[in-house]
Amino acid sequence: MSELYPLKFKTIFLDKIWGGQRIRTVLGKDFGKLPNCGEAWEISGVEGNISVVANGFLKGNKLSELVEVYMGDLVGEKIYDKFGEEFPLLVKFIDAHENLSIQVHPDDATARVRHNAWGKTEMWVVLHAEENAELVMGFNRTISRKEFVQHLENKTLNEILNVERVKTGDVFFIPSGRVHAIGPGILLAEIQQTSDITYRIYDWDRLDNQGNSRELHTELALDVIDFQHHDNYKTSYQSTENTLVKLVDCPYFVTSLFEINKPMDRDYSLLDSFVIIICIQGSAKIIDNKRETEIRCGESVLIPATGLTFRIEPTGNAKLLEVFGK
């Protein structure tokens, strides 16, 4: 069997009723004739939208086929034992030209019973934010289920939702059960469990291109919502040049940020997981003892569990996210 190498994938572009143009204008990714692009899926094992390799001798193969053939060599033995042939994480970019729906995602236990699927815990890194851009994250005070329903029926959710003013570089961790929504003027990177289960609670009374309201999932959502108020919905961190800064460490993934202007050596030979590098500014090369793999802003590279000793060499200044599974 031929040796694995850093893998790049063809982007899966999805138009959305709320999508915009920043995936093209900011990230430089051509989404063709789509009227807009709300989401660009970079690495996905979601059924129906499984990523296809774009480089090397495995070009044209699906990610699911690679996991089936290479198993722990690709994803790590502990990851393979837990998830089998399903790749456990989904990496995407989201561009909101208009409000996304107020929504929530179920946890693993609920998703398993209802959908025979994984739940959805996720995180956001804001790549671009227009002036005064905002998003919804949780509640501004602890409320009861009954109170929530009353506000939903009266269309006064804005009175209880926590609204965050956002800027480029902000990070938000969104555990399953936390009500949230992205507002207009925001481009972000999202790292999440492999799940496409969303319970839409409120969609601003808008209509689709056929004049229909989008489906709501209120009853399903009520059983999974965390009605508690939490402090510090925004993740605090201090970026330090040429230093790895951990952003999120949760049961499903660990994500770190590094801004570099000189080469950085990485050694994950004892990690027992794949590593994903996401370039969110500038460009760089991922260099091992056999090859160089270029990565530009808006691109992601999957480094197999058997190839986790490498050097990252920036072209000028580069900002990258590093993700591995748990």
The answer to whether 61 and 70 have CB atoms below 8 angstroms apart is no
Site of tokens 């580069």: 318
Catalytic residue among 200, 206, 214, 266: 200
Q: Which strands, in side-by-side order, build the sheet including 245-249?
A: 245-249, 253-260, 318-325, 275-281, 300-303
Which is it for the CA torsion 17, 37, 131, 189, positive or negative? positive
Measured distance CA(64)–CA(51) in Å, rounded: 8
CA distances from 155 to 150, 151, 179, 201 (A): 8, 6, 16, 11
Which residues touch 187 (CB under 8 Å, ≥6 apart)? 22, 23, 26, 27, 93, 94, 95, 96, 126, 127, 128, 129
Can 200 be counted among the known catalytic residues?
yes
What is the distance between the alpha carbons of residues 323 and 326, in angstroms, rounded to a whole number? 10
Partner residues linked to 181 by β-bridges: 136
Q: How far apart are the C-alpha atoms of 315 and 326, rounded to whole Å?
A: 31
Q: Any idea which residues carry the catalytic annotation?
A: 200
